[in-house]
Structure 1
Amino acid sequence: MNSVTNRGVFWMILSCTAFASMWVLIRYASREVHAFQIVFFRCAIGTLVLLPMMLRNPGLIRLSRLTANLRRAASGFIATMGTFYAVAHAPLATALSINYTAPLFATAGAVLFLGEKIHFRRVAALAAGFAGMLIVVRPGALPLTPGVLAAVISAVSTAFSIVAIRQLVATDDSRAVASWTFILMTPPSFIAALFVWRWPPADVWPLLVAIGCAAAVGQLAMNKAFSLAEASAVLPYDFVRFGLVTLAGIALFGERVDQMTILGGVVIFGATVYLAVRERQVARALLAASVPERPD
């Protein structure tokens, strides 16, 4: 790997660590505060964390990019609400395994709604990935709890966010993309929180502040990783998050992770990485075909 790709990998691992820490903090905070309230504090505190950076760079937040960022924030809002609820009410490894299907939904959506061509290898990878989700969820064998359903909704919404983030960081500063996300998600998350509002106890406030900080760091780091390197180069390192979250569930919350959940998670993740690699190969082949040959 070249130095730029190495930097992308570093930012991806940092993002994984920050998001894994956030999930642990969410589980602790959800014992006293509803998940929807935690989403609001995540957005509001994250905005405050990013505010000094925004003030030092007054051109970072451009109103001309409001519409594009609104689309990303809309899907991000639904995804975050679903993720936080799933983390609070479902086994961590199960919630994360389902969350890993987001790139699969993104690929399927591009085929269905954007008319992208799909070949046998991508079809096989998608089939394997969704089979992995069935292994994790096991319809009929395991109850479809609200937490698991929230994780599925989150995965579908995250798919739209992934596409939006990749499009935005191709032209915009990754810091601006992260900042817009927190700013635009704060008002709707506050409205949602009002329906379940109760003032957090004093001992929960440090957790809420830490969640906001971890979310800001994780979002900045992920956007930075995608802006520095191709998704296929950094995506495999996202499995660090699976390991950290699974270990946290076992060590801190006494969760039992069965072999089927691990197997399903590995299958989903493998399919996701394969799709990223294939997209890179296809993109390079198209680029090579579009370059005219030089005359001898």
Structure 2
Amino acid sequence: MNRVVAWAPGWQRLRSGRLGAGWMVVAALFFALMGVFVKVGGRSFGALELLFYRTLFGALMLGGVMVARRRNPLTPNWRGHLQRSLIGYVSMGLLFYALTHLPLATAITLNYTSSLFFTLICLVRLKEPLTRTAALALAVGFGGILLLLRPTFASDMWFAAAMGLASGASAGFAVFQVRELGKMGEAPWRVVFWFFAISSVFGAVLLLLGPGFTPLSAETFWPLLGVGLTGMCGQLAMTRAYKDGSKFLVASFAYLTVAFSAVLGVLLWGDVLPLEALAGILLIVFSGVLAARR
């Protein structure tokens, strides 16, 4: 009985949508599940094709909501959207490649180094002062990267690990572009919509000029649907979290994606990471939380 009473307030907040930063916990779970579907879909599709369906599903779903709410997608900032979409597309493509070749937690963690690279970009491009907190975050984070990469560079997975790290670097650039678009007055929903729409066009062109589309079947379609649904739900929950919650708490809770991914990797594929890799993951998560406080 006491357990029911204890859970009731949280359940009521979930039903009413008043979760605040807690929405990031929901988003983290969906993003971890998206990684699972990407790994499963990787048995039948390449990374570019998985990414195409991910962005196409997002564009159609968000576009439908925009039509229903009569929101105008037109923007005068086409150049900024093209730059953000191209960088974001490259980042997600690299992440999807890493997800299909690395343990789930390793690929996700490498992508989540984006906060470190974003900090570096702000230091260089905006000439922000290097605070003690930022310096500590960078030192700890890049130390964690070395620990995490060491087992993969000692195996045949070094290329996938390099692609995962590159996804984090390009994601840092993408976050910087989103920040610049926000300064131009662009609404978050418009930024997300054009990212999905432009990325879908990129993906279609690359697939038509390259390997083409893999024929769909009942057995192969469900992972694609899973990637689209979980990715879109994660995006919506993350947007709600940044709207309603404390930015520091939201940024900290985002790293739960790493924890969820580690648990799912063990349960579904028996992923066992060396101690040095686990230490690297913990250091990267700690540095990310520090970077959010700078």
TM-score, reference length from structure 1: 0.85
Please, which of 67, 92, 97 is the counterpart of residue 79 of structure 2? 67
1:156 Cα deviation from its structure 2 partner: 0.6
Please, which of 79, 85, 100 is the counterpart of residue 97 of structure 2? 85
Please, which of 246, 261, 267 is the counterpart of residue 251 of structure 1? 267
Contact in 2 for aligned 1:75/1:158 (Cα 8 Å): yes
Call closer, same or farther: CA 1:200–1:254 in 2, change over 3 Å: farther
- CA–CA distance in 1 between the matches of 2:240 and 2:77? 18
Partner of 2:189: 175
Partner of 1:55: 67
1:222 aligned onto 2:238: yes
Contact in 2 for aligned 1:72/1:161 (Cα 8 Å): yes
Partner of 1:160: 173
Amino acid at match of 2:178: I
- CA–CA distance in 1 between the matches of 2:262 and 2:158? 19
Q: Unmatched 5+ residue regions in structure 2?
A: 1-12
Q: Secondary structure at the match of 1:138?
A: helix
Q: Secondary structure at the match of 1:25?
A: helix
- CA–CA distance in 2 between the matches of 1:43 and 1:121? 36
Partner of 1:12: 24
1:219 Cα deviation from its structure 2 partner: 1.9
Contact in 2 for aligned 1:40/1:186 (Cα 8 Å): yes
Partner of 1:46: 58
Give 1:234-273 correspondences, 5 Å limit. Answer: 234-273=250-289
- CA–CA distance in 2 between the matches of 1:185 and 1:112? 28
- CA–CA distance in 1 between the matches of 2:203 and 2:186? 25
Q: Which deviates more, 165-174 or 185-194?
A: 165-174
How big is each residue's C-alpha offset from its partner over 1:2-44, in whole Å with a ceiling of 9 and x where there is no partner?
x9xx744122122111111111001111101111111111111
Q: Which deviates more, 197-206 or 164-173?
A: 164-173
- CA–CA distance in 2 between the matches of 1:94 and 1:71? 28
Contact in 2 for aligned 1:178/1:223 (Cα 8 Å): no
Identity percentage of aligned residues: 26
Contact in 2 for aligned 1:102/1:158 (Cα 8 Å): yes
Contact in 2 for aligned 1:20/1:245 (Cα 8 Å): yes
How big is each residue's C-alpha offset from its partner over 1:174-202, in whole Å with a ceiling of 9 and x where there is no partner?
32222121111111111223322322333
Contact in 2 for aligned 1:174/1:220 (Cα 8 Å): no
- CA–CA distance in 2 between the matches of 1:224 and 1:205? 29
Q: Secondary structure at the match of 1:203?
A: helix
- CA–CA distance in 2 between the matches of 1:112 and 1:248? 37
Q: Secondary structure at the match of 2:90?
A: helix
- CA–CA distance in 2 between the matches of 1:76 and 1:35? 14
Please, which of 189, 207, 218 is the counterpart of residue 193 of structure 1? 207
TM-score, reference length from structure 2: 0.86
